[in-house]
Structure 1
Amino acid sequence: MQETEQSEKDMIGSLLDEDESKCSEFRSSITKSQQHSQSQSPVKSFKDLKEAKEIPLLLDDAGQQEFPSNDPNNFYFTVQSAFIQQRQHSLSHEFHQYMVPQPPLYYPCQDGFFSQKRTKKLQSSADSEQTISQQCQDQYASLNIQQSFIQGNDFQKDKIFKALIEDLPLLAKHKFGNYVIQKIIENSNQNIRTLIFEQLHPFIIEMCYDKFGCRVIQRLLEFIQNHQKIQLIQSIKSQVLNLIFDQCGNHVIQKIIDLASDAEFIIDIVTNNVDHIVSHSYGCRIAQKCLEIFPNQKLQQLYISLIPLCEKLSFCQYGNYIVQHMINQGPPKGLEVIGKYIKARILEVSQDKYASIVAQKYITVANDDDIASICKILINDYYPPMLLILINNQFGNYVMQNFYQKCNDKQKQSIQIQINKFEDHQFTQFGRHFLQFLARCHAC
């Protein structure tokens, strides 16, 4: 009973405190309205209320009354529990579904999950009136064409290729079209590859300098026959030196060195221009590729040209890679020359950003006599000793770590005695790195 009175008081509000007669009339009207509402079909959801148009859902005018009528007989419309619940809990499931847009759906595709927008674009691109060549220049349609060519039968592949053959030079240099040409080269027979080569041959040099065209040329070199490779090389032979210094063209030269059997002429070009090539950001990669691929008997002239330059190249940002390769795989004469100037300039070499890497590489392959010579140079009576200078250097401390690992027990003991002569405040942050390295070595 108390709960009923409390609910009535909450519903009626201040009327209970003003006039008891008005409250009794109002209470009787509510009772009648509840009896009438039980005879009607219940409203199941907020959506049903909207469809029934029994009450206004949204107020277009700020001054409009929220309830349809002030008549107490119609009050059951305004106090329906379902409506009040929806108004109080506006983020309920049905209301949220009605008001808030849903996130985009994702549909599976053969090469991953595409968004709804991308999937529709793929479907519309395939059904559009554009030609296949024009579709290859679209980001999403080109993917569709690539999949169609890979998974299609011979008839479908021929149809796609015949539609593209006239526009091959244009598509090979296109941002998206070049991928279509590459897939056709990979997944077609030798006859189609021959037709592609013949169609692109007049534009070989132009494509080698192109950001996307050079990729098509590299793919051609992987799949065409040997006589076609020779023909391609002859077409670009006059431009090899310029291609070596080009950001895109040097990749074509690297692919020729990797795949072509008749590429020894590149060694002569590198040998004649060794000073410029090995110190260039792109040219040094060509020199490295020659040293990696060709046997030593074909590289004798190149080694003869490189040995006098090793000391200079050690301090070069790109040339140091050539010196490192000569330490690992070069002739004994080259290793001897490199070791001679490293021992003579150990303090200067070890403190340089690039030459310190060469020094570390040399120490890893040095014999016991070379290690003993370096140890004798580092442990001296000068103040401060070279050992302390290198330990406190940001590059030299790495050289000393490698050197310490190559020393024998007696040499290690001499290094520790030399270090113990100095206090902790005489070591920089790099010197402390070396001390931590020594602690790890003793802990093992």
Structure 2
Amino acid sequence: MAVAGDTFSMSTMFDALPYPTGISGSVPPPGFASATHLHAAMFNLMTCCDGMSSFKEMIATLDKTELQRMASLLTSDSDYFMAIVTNKHGSRRVQKLLGKSDDADAIFCAAILRRFLQITTDKYASYVTIRAMVVFDDKDKKKAMYEQILYYALDLACDQYGCIALNDIITDADDPYYRDQILDLVAYNALCLSNDASGNFVVQRVLTLNDLRTMHSIAVSLRGHCIDLSFKKYGSYIVEKLLEADESMVVVVVELLECDGDRLMRLARNEFGSFVVYKALRSTKMSRIDLFWNLVKKLLPFLRILRRSHGSNIANILESLKLRC
């Protein structure tokens, strides 16, 4: 397969690369004066906009030693590696190299760990971290990656792309200890995350796991703030999810019952809050009839107002009970 000209092939790349230590010194990304022809050729191979199918065919022919030498070249300098994995095509090709050799994976793992936060919060490079967490089998590599995830979890959660990576990692977490550690960290920081433009998506994802212990912990962290969150689009999604489990539902409904009538009325008429109150009625009717009737009693005086607002769905439930206002 030709690379960067018809006379420069993968075999000449490997011949030019010292083994096993790779290229010594600092090798800047292509474009800098001291970048080598070898690195420029590899950069072109990894980031060109076409040829993915031929790239996959090429790496399928490499043995473990060649894969290790290729990984050594790609990671010989952190800036060089970053320039590749932050490129859309470079990220996809590095992902294809992961999981093919334990020795090559060890080299890639070290490179990811050196720039973990930068890689995992980048639009394209973050998928390298996600892929690594899926394919790394070695316990030491997996542990090192999980430790970085725990250390940077809140930074990842509050980043536009980091939250996507963290959500995927949480969903696929296969180590019970680290899974619980991450869930506990999200639950403990649920209030600040729920009010963050990106962090709220992490809280939502954790709640979809339906882990009752974590749901209760999140509800406790949000106690006293559920109504405020319910006025917001994404916050209301979080509160609605809490209403799906008995343990966390009680926390939300008690807060609804304890707020003053005017505030509850405004929430029930709100475009987002109305769905929270509606779901609270439906959830309590199925499992906590005492809370259901207490909520009905508090909402009934506002029936006429609710009919002419976003709270019409709530009014329908109240009217179906055929009670006097």
Same-fold status (TM-score > 0.5): yes
Which protein is bigger by CA-based radius of gyration? Answer: 1
1:248 counterpart (103, 108, 124): 124
Equivalent residue number for residue 6 of structure 1: none
How far has the Cα of 1:200 moved from its partner? Answer: 5.7
CA contact (8 A) 1:364 1:406 kept: yes
CA contact (8 A) 2:268 2:277 kept: yes
**Alignment partners' CA distance in 2, 1:333 and 1:200:** 42
User: RCO (CA 8 Å, sep 6+): is it higher in 1 or 2?
Assistant: 2
Residue type matched to 2:50 in 1? F
Residue type matched to 1:230 in 2? A
How far has the Cα of 1:256 moved from its partner? Answer: 0.5
1:199–1:281: structure 2 CA closer, same or farther, 3 Å change rule?
same
1:381–1:308: structure 2 CA closer, same or farther, 3 Å change rule?
closer
* Superimposed CA distance per residue, residues 130-168 of structure 1 (whole angstroms, 9 cap, x where no aligned partner): x966899xxxxxxxxxxxxxxxxxxxxxxx988999955
Equivalent residue number for residue 384 of structure 1: 262
1:266 counterpart (145, 150, 153): 145
How far has the Cα of 1:414 moved from its partner? Answer: 4.8
Moved over 6 A (4+): 160-166, 330-333, 437-442
1:199–1:431: structure 2 CA closer, same or farther, 3 Å change rule?
same
How far has the Cα of 1:428 moved from its partner? Answer: 4.7
TM-score by length of 2: 0.70
2:44 counterpart (167, 170, 173): 170
- Find out whether 1:283 has 2:159 as its counterpart: no
**Alignment partners' CA distance in 1, 2:184 and 2:259:** 39
Residue type matched to 2:128 in 1? V
**Alignment partners' CA distance in 1, 2:107 and 2:244:** 45
2:110 counterpart (226, 234, 240): 234
Equivalent residue number for residue 224 of structure 2: 344
1:211–1:339: structure 2 CA closer, same or farther, 3 Å change rule?
same
Residue type matched to 1:182 in 2? K
2:86 counterpart (191, 194, 209): 209
* Superimposed CA distance per residue, residues 169-213 of structure 1 (whole angstroms, 9 cap, x where no aligned partner): 42321111344313544xx4453x864663464124142222211
How far has the Cα of 1:364 moved from its partner? Answer: 0.6
1:301–1:418: structure 2 CA closer, same or farther, 3 Å change rule?
closer
**Alignment partners' CA distance in 2, 1:259 and 1:440:** 54
**Alignment partners' CA distance in 2, 1:441 and 1:177:** 66
Aligned ranges 1:295-310 → 2 under 5 Å = 295-299=175-179, 301-303=181-183, 305-310=185-190
**Alignment partners' CA distance in 2, 1:413 and 1:362:** 20
Equivalent residue number for residue 17 of structure 1: none
1:219 counterpart (91, 96, 104): 96
- Find out whether 1:319 has 2:199 as its counterpart: yes
Aligned ranges 1:104-115 → 2 under 5 Å = none
How far has the Cα of 1:363 moved from its partner? Answer: 1.1
Q: Secondary structure at the match of 1:430?
A: coil
1:363 counterpart (223, 235, 243): 243
1:407 counterpart (257, 265, 284): 284
Aligned ranges 1:66-81 → 2 under 5 Å = none
Equivalent residue number for residue 198 of structure 1: 69
Q: Secondary structure at the match of 2:270?
A: coil
Residue type matched to 1:212 in 2? H
Aligned ranges 1:72-151 → 2 under 5 Å = none
**Alignment root-mean-square deviation, CA:** 3.8
Percent sequence identity over aligned pairs: 14
* Superimposed CA distance per residue, residues 370-410 of structure 1 (whole angstroms, 9 cap, x where no aligned partner): 64564454346944251x22221111112123222211355
TM-score by length of 1: 0.53
How far has the Cα of 1:429 moved from its partner? Answer: 3.4
**Alignment partners' CA distance in 1, 2:263 and 2:167:** 37
**Alignment partners' CA distance in 1, 2:275 and 2:106:** 47
CA contact (8 A) 2:306 2:312 kept: no
Residue type matched to 1:256 in 2? A
**Alignment partners' CA distance in 1, 2:158 and 2:259:** 38
CA contact (8 A) 2:67 2:104 kept: no
Q: Which runs of 5+ in 2 are unaligned?
A: 15-37, 76-80
